[in-house]
Amino acid sequence: MIASLRQRFKILDSRFLKSSAILAAGFALARFLGLGFSLLLGRMLPAERYGYIQYIILIAGLLSIPTMPFFQHLVARQVSIHRDNTEQLHRVYTNAWIVMFGLCLLTVLFTIPLFVLAGTLDLGAYLIFFGVTLFYAYYGLARGFEDSTRLAIVFVSSNLIQLVVIAIVYVALREQSVLPALAIYGLSYVVPVLLITALYPLPVRIRLKYFDWKTMKELIVAAVPIWISHSTYAFANGADVFILRRFSGDAVVGAYTFTKTLNIVFDFVPSALGTMIMPRAASMQSNRRRLMLMSAVGVLAISAVIAVVYLSLYQWIILSFFKPEYLLPAVAVITMIAMQTIFGLQGVISGMLIGVNRPAVEMGGRIITVISLYVTCLLLIPPYGVVGAAVANLISSIISVGSFVVLLELRKRHERQQIARKEQSMVAPNAAVPMPPDMPTASDETAVDDGTDTGDPSI
């Protein structure tokens, strides 16, 4: 039995474990600093203003749908594939930044008139949009190079800047408006990226000689399923808040999102594993299923331990250090913990699916998730408020994980049927055995991986 366990853990080689451990530590420290940002705001501002800040952050997330996942997922995967091919690496990098500039420009030109007409334009949303876009562009590059140290540095430093500046502005200077908080949140992502890029540059540069319409087109086409997937994530991430705000107002949203912020303690390990599992899966040739299963077990086990400590301290922390208006019912808190655990599992599975080139499966699961979340939120939030929001999230998280599994099995079954039909069609009338199927060639090593499901049998 011990020998069997050792064999199973061999797939978690020292480099992957070291990278994940560094990133988990970096995520943990960064999230604790980010938690300090939210705790200070919660302590200094009423729940209504805190709720509005969280609402605008979600709006900025919707603005970043075209830009954030482009580098975070697609370019990260291309870098992990081509990092040993200098020419193709620079070609992808150069054209990716040109596409990114176009995406930013189109986003601004399209959305500002809409907000003006609706009377809801908020400068803070755009400051966050630009900060998050730049941050996750760097995130994707470092992720593609599997450089956990860079990722940890930018995460920790950006959250440290947030905490220090918020303490100065809201604690020392007693500021009460929301725009400074939004500006600090957005611009804190810019400074560490610019500094680390100048002092500790990545081994890739923009080189205009690699400007190529064909590569840009391939990148855009490959990004379509990832954009669709991320848009469902962004809308799902804000579904409960948008609907809760509509029926209950900013004060209730403030209390609800404050507890959701506290729940980030459950996100440290899943975030690290989900980040590192994608490039690792993309570069592996076997044992991917085992890697995913061991990562999932780790998420569930660690979340169970954290839940015990969290539940014992939640009420005492709220009543001792914050306003009673932030306290949620126990049933809502327990439900949100269960949801957060399953959500972490979902993130690991999602990273694996992108890594093994199964974007259609990941996209399909996201679509099912967002539909189920909006339906359950609309059904449960009006009569039950925050408890309904928590239950709706739990139900949709369970549906999400289940849909990933079902869609993957359906896809694999379809691929097996295609292979069987191809083998049958290749059998000569007088042959005793089927001819081997055509093997893929490596004639086009410079092509951008288009993200199409390729039937990888290892997961």
75-134 pLDDT tens trace: 888 888 888 888 888 898 999 999 999 999 999 999 999 999 888 889 999 999 999 999
Contact 182, 125 (CB under 8 A): yes
Whether 429 is in a domain gets the answer: no
Q: DSSP labels for 147-191? A: -HHHHHHHHHHHHHHHHHHHIIIIIIS----SHHHHHHHHHTTHH
Whether 93 is in a domain gets the answer: yes
Domain count, the chain: 1
pLDDT of residue 18: 63
pLDDT of residue 20: 62
Whether 156 is in a domain gets the answer: yes
Q: How far is CA 257 from the centre of its chain?
A: 18
Domain residues for 373?
14-423
pLDDT of residue 23: 64
Whether 456 is in a domain gets the answer: no
Distance of alpha carbon 444 from alpha carbon 422, whole angstroms: 24
AA letter at 270: P
Whether 428 is in a domain gets the answer: no
Instruction: Give the up-direction half-sphere exposure of residue 326: CA atoms within 13 A in the CB hemisphere.
Output: 29
361-392 pLDDT tens trace: 777 877 888 899 999 999 999 999 999 999 99
Question: What burial class does residue 89 get, using C-beta atoms within 10 Å of its C-beta: 0-12 exposed, 13-18 middle, 19+ buried?
Answer: buried
Whether 455 is in a domain gets the answer: no
pLDDT of residue 274: 65
Residue whose C-alpha is closest to residue 185's, from 157, 150, 167, 159: 159
Question: What burial class does residue 453 get, using C-beta atoms within 10 Å of its C-beta: 0-12 exposed, 13-18 middle, 19+ buried?
Answer: buried
Which positions of the chain have pLDDT values less than 70?
Answer: 1-24, 27, 271-288, 356-357, 359, 427-459
pLDDT of residue 441: 42
Question: What burial class does residue 66 get, using C-beta atoms within 10 Å of its C-beta: 0-12 exposed, 13-18 middle, 19+ buried?
Answer: buried
Whether 226 is in a domain gets the answer: yes
Residue whose C-alpha is closest to residue 328's, from 339, 315, 310: 315
- pTM surpassing 0.75? no
Whether 251 is in a domain gets the answer: yes
pLDDT of residue 459: 56
pLDDT of residue 443: 40
Residue 119 gets the label, from left (phi > 0), alpha (psi -120 to 50) or beta, of: left
SS3 for 192-243 is HHHHHHHHCCCCCCCCHHHCCHHHHHHHHHHHHHHHHHHHHHHHHHHHHHHH
